[in-house]
Amino acid sequence: MLRGEKMKEGDENRKRRLPASERKKVILDAALSAFVEFGYHGALMDTIAERAEVTKPILYRHFSSKLDLLLAIIENAGEELRASLLLPTPSEMDWLTSIRHSVRAYFDFVTKSEAAFRLIYDTDLNVDAKARERVIQIRKSIIDVVSKVVSSYTDTSRVPQEDIDVLAVILIGMVESTVTYWMNNKDRPPEVYEQGLVRAISAILSKLPPRLAP
């Protein structure tokens, strides 16, 4: 056997020896890029397998269908975004700092995981009821995080929880639309939009009665 052939065989053996968790990540990354580039319907399993440098039998061993791939990507991206928004306890961070933290965390997620964000927020997911429902659940969970943060700094004896929940929806809508606009234009540094969001959100939340220190 020629030296080049041995090297090629060695590379293939190393690929086959990847731990299952690493192999799944490679496949998911390949699927994500294919979904964003071609859309869900246009992305072929052959293309995903080729990008992941695996055979189709190996691909199907990890994910039984293209829908399973999509659901796994949505789940991972949603959990990553939600986790990035979780804050220290209110006693460790004042409300203005928490706003800056949340806005920066959101932009950081989009900067690092733009393709995943597009898949959740900027792509038509009317491909399957399961995918659509999972996206709705993720967005609700993020709104819930924001609602709890706002509640932790607000005198809830004077503001009904329902009003805080609605306010959380409005705030998340502001952030989503701003981030999406920046992502599609990138006409200015993200910090410019971050600062604008912090000012706008601070102005809104400053109208709420603050929670009194115990």
Of 34, 64, 94, which closes a domain? 64
What does 79-136 look like in DSSP terms, one character per residue?
HHHHHHH----GGGS-HHHHHHHHHHHHHHHHHH-HHHHHHHHSS--TT-HHHHHHHH
CA atoms within 13 A on the CB side of 4: 0
Q: Number of folded domains in the chain?
A: 2
Q: Left, alpha or beta for 182 (phi > 0: left; psi -120 to 50: alpha)?
A: alpha
Summary mean pLDDT of the chain = 85
Q: Does residue 50 have a pLDDT over 80?
A: yes
Task: Select from 120, 132, 137, 109 the least CA-distant residue to 35.
Answer: 120
Report the C-alpha gap between 54 and 23 in whole angstroms: 9
- Between the CA of residue 27 and those of 52, 71, 72, 115, what are the distances in Å? 5, 13, 11, 15
The alpha carbon of residue 57 and the mean position of all alpha carbons in its chain are separated, in whole angstroms, by 29
pLDDT at 132: 82
Condensed to tens digits (0 to 9), the pLDDT of residues 158-210 reads 999 999 999 999 999 999 999 999 998 999 999 999 999 999 999 999 999 99
Q: Does residue 30 have a pLDDT over 50?
A: yes
Report the C-alpha gap between 85 and 105 in whole angstroms: 6
166 inside domain: yes
Q: Does residue 117 have a pLDDT over 90?
A: no
Shared domain check, 172 and 108: yes
Token reading at 166: 């609605």
185 inside domain: yes
Residues 22-50 have a mean pLDDT of: 91
pLDDT at 84: 82
Report the C-alpha gap between 99 and 80 in whole angstroms: 19
Q: How confident is the model at residue 59 (pLDDT cuts 50, 70, 90)?
A: very high
Condensed to tens digits (0 to 9), the pLDDT of residues 60-70 reads 999 999 999 99
Shared domain check, 104 and 37: no
- Between the CA of residue 84 and those of 60, 107, 116, 199, 213, what are the distances in Å? 31, 10, 14, 21, 27
Shared domain check, 155 and 86: yes
Q: Does residue 72 have a pLDDT over 70?
A: yes
Shared domain check, 38 and 76: no
**Domain around 38:** 3-64
Report the C-alpha gap between 11 and 28 in whole angstroms: 21
Report the C-alpha gap between 198 and 4 in whole angstroms: 57
Q: Does residue 47 have a pLDDT over 70?
A: yes
Shared domain check, 186 and 109: yes
Residues 21-50 have a mean pLDDT of: 91
32 inside domain: yes
Residue type, 174: M
pLDDT at 6: 47
Task: Select from 119, 31, 43, 107 the least CA-distant residue to 77.
Answer: 119
pLDDT at 182: 93
